[in-house]
Amino acid sequence: MAIDKSQLTAPVSEEMYAPHPGSKPRMVKASPERAQSSFNPIKWLLQVLPPVVAFFVFIGGWELIVRGMDIPPYILPKPSDIVKAGIENGHGLMVSVFTTISEAVLGFIFSIIMGVCGAVLLASSKVIEKSVYPYAVILQTIPIVAIAPIIVIWFGAGMNAIVIIAFLIGFFPMLSNTLIGLNSTDHNMKNLFYLYNANRFQTMWRLRIPAALPYIVAGLKISCTLAVIGAIVGEYIAGIGGGKGGLGYAITVAASRLQTPYLFACGLSASVLGIAFFLLVNAFSKWMLSSWHESEMRTEN
């Protein structure tokens, strides 16, 4: 049976897709991205309400238990005592927080620069990677408290030593994560760049570094909180006193004077500082990866 080829290439008319008389019009469903972009207050409230309730239950129980058992403030202060101590020493606490912020930020920036540059250097040559990377692992395994006095001897007490200690603590996560990302580049893409005669610099800059961005962001999330810890640890050993001391120095002074409520206030300030650093890096991660990488893209529930 012969087939008329004109029927295969016949133009499609609009009547073929016109709705049948008497039929109900079809409802067009909104895309998942459009549905998720609309703000749902009930859903938002269900997400926020449980942790808020748990927080107030914990704080209220803490306050009632300490009051009921009549525990002295120097052993376990009440939340109200902690708030009162933070308000009474508000100026000194803010100075300590800003000092620690400056030290942690500088150490974090140096860890990013040195970690990424070191990973690029190691990923450029397997010989260099096998020769140098084991020593980076050894440096990470050495307790920072053990080498901190040496850093103080070399660079002196104060800002320089504290920034270096914060840098050393945050350096290895950046180096390790970036190196893993650079070595995880798709081999098919590498072969494609090779076929187009791309040199090592072009392959590194245009292929391997963009492919390693999710791993670099993962290193940032780890290193940012470690930088705060490194700054506080450095202030224990190499911190400067007086009115310019950081949170580590304030914690040391409060512990020596049995000012436990203020000690709690300093510890909570350090925790809030670390959380704020993490949230900033997390927001940067979403901004940079949400348009193309699956780890930060919105998915349909």
Q: pLDDT of 173-206, one tens digit each?
A: 999 999 999 998 888 998 888 898 889 889 999 9
Yes or no: say if 265 and 91 are a contact pair by the CB < 8 Å rule: no
The confidence score (pLDDT) of residue 147 equals: 86
CA atoms 283, 278, 101, 288: torsion sign: negative
DSSP 248-298: HHHHHHHHHTT-HHHHHHHHHHHHHHHHHHHHHHHHHHHHHHTTT-TTTS-
* 94-289 topology per CATH: MetI-like fold (1.10.3720)
Residue 164's pLDDT band, with cuts at 50, 70 and 90, is very high
Model pLDDT for residues 208-219, shown as the tens digit of each residue:
999 999 999 999
CA atoms 85, 88, 92, 94: torsion sign: positive
pTM over 0.85: no
